[in-house]
Amino acid sequence: MNDDAEPTVPTPAPADPTAAPPSANQPVPSPPTPPSTSPLSGLTPPAPGAGAFPLRPPGSGAAYRQTTGGRSTTQRSFGQPDPQEPRFRPVYPGQAWPTEQPQYRPMYTPPPPPDWHQQQARSYSAEPPKVNRVVAIAALVALVIGVLAGAGAATAVVALGGNNPPVTEQPDPPVGNGADPKIRTGSVSAVAAALLPSVVQLKVQGSDNSDATGSGFVIDNVGHILTNNHVVAAAAKGGSIQVVTNGNKTATARLVGRSPAYDLAVVQVSGLDAPSVQFGRSEQAVVGQDVVAIGSPLGLAGTVTSGIISAKNRPVTTGDSVDQASYISALQTDAAINPGNSGGPLVDMNARVIGVNSAIATVPGAGEGQSGSIGLGFAIPIDQARRTAQQLIANGKASYPVIGASVDMQFEGGARVSAVSAGSPAARAGLRVGDVVTAVNNQPVDSAEVLIVAIRTYQPGQAVRLAYERAGRARTATVTLAQQIG
């Protein structure tokens, strides 16, 4: 006998589970041969004795080798199984099966959860996934506004001088008091259905043949429409403003008033057949809440996108120069906003307006015509827009708060005072050139833009507490804000 040959061992039949396992010194009876015509099923394992060349019973000291290739039958690192290789058979009761699943084993499909029908019902009433749906390109967009940081001259004026007009109480025309939309489902489609009739497209033609497109929304029952100043600025010295409603009706609007400081404007269409919106409270907005933006991006009227509030109190500067710059403490959103969305509403899931879409961030180095939504959009909080709209309707102009000083726009680490107007609130509070303002009412200030934005969140006549440094020493001063028209 060749000592390297694989010994042949008869395969035992299934034993009684209560019986003791067979010993290597006891003879193992031969099992009955299974019927060759029995089909395999997902519930019955292969019958004992199927195949050939069984494994050696436990306890055997014989060599464990394969005569055809010298390769271990239990360790395979790669490659496909050899069709000539013997199949595995259990040698003793309870021996584990190989990890490879047989081809006949049926796939297990778990049963549906008990509340499957309720889950399906909720999927139709819950808000759909937040996806930016604007994937179109228009042929012509006249005006693009982006976020500018530190552009322009080296200094910006927080107030032009000490001879400011007195602070007076402004009348409060009723705006943003439209019918309660009563949206409670949180559905984007329901919000869109409630707001689309109130949102209009603006087409502006200037006297110098400049033009612009944008959006707006109806804020009262006499046809006043709130939009951005940069949308209608081309028609400020002559030109025309055309309003296109959601029902595709066109009417000519008149410019009621505008505020470059807050980048807001109001136009009016007599006999406008469109419902007014209802304002919410932007100060109650929370980061992460769902919002919907509506407008006419790239000339595509009636466009709806959804997202969330990404941040609050973002200091944003818009405009092409210091004289025309707007400083906004903005709501940041990732809802898709593109050129043409300017002036449209940003609304909560109860269909109440909480912001005016005004600006987008652009990729540094992007050329003209390459700007678009990168998930960084900014809206003017409606709490500020409400006050400005009321002033514009009542007087045709609006005021903003000032301290009567200029600040260095290139300085970092605070807002360094570069000039103080005689008789101004800053001069009366003891501020001097070279002082570095570091906080407004405990709100940190790390740049000139942040100081200007922080001041403009208050109203003329209010007192604010400034923290500043002079020659390395910390100081404080209380400043009563004056007002300036613009």
* Closest by CA position to 140, among listed 332, 296, 15, 274: 296
Q: Using CB atoms within 10 A of its CB, is residue 423 exposed (0-12), middle (13-18) or buried (19+)?
A: middle
At 298, is the secondary structure helix, strand, or coil? helix
- Partner residues linked to 406 by β-bridges: 157, 419
Give kind and range of the element (H or E) at residue 232: helix 229-232
Is residue 213 within 8 Å of 204, Cβ to Cβ?
yes
* Closest by CA position to 425, among listed 474, 464, 457: 464
Q: What is the DSSP letter of 266?
A: E
At 441, is the secondary structure helix, strand, or coil? coil
Is residue 358 within 8 Å of 135, Cβ to Cβ?
no
- Partner residues linked to 316 by β-bridges: 328
Go through 133-149 and write b for each residue having 16 or more CB atoms within 10 A of its CB, e for each that does not.
ebeeeeeebbbbbebbe
Give kind and range of the element (H or E) at residue 191: helix 188-195
- Partner residues linked to 212 by β-bridges: 204
Q: What are the residue numbers of the active site?
A: 230, 263, 342
Which residue intervals of 298-447 are DSSP H helices?
382-395, 425-428
* Closest by CA position to 409, among listed 445, 446, 466, 448: 448
Taking residue 463's Cβ as centre, other Cβ atoms within 10 Å add up to 12
Q: What is the distance between the alpha carbons of residues 330 and 383, in angstroms, rounded to a whole number?
A: 11
* Closest by CA position to 464, among listed 431, 486, 441, 439: 441
Is residue 158 within 8 Å of 429, Cβ to Cβ?
no
Phi/psi region, residue 329 (left: phi>0; alpha: psi -120 to 50; beta: rest), is beta
Tokens of 176: 């943003």
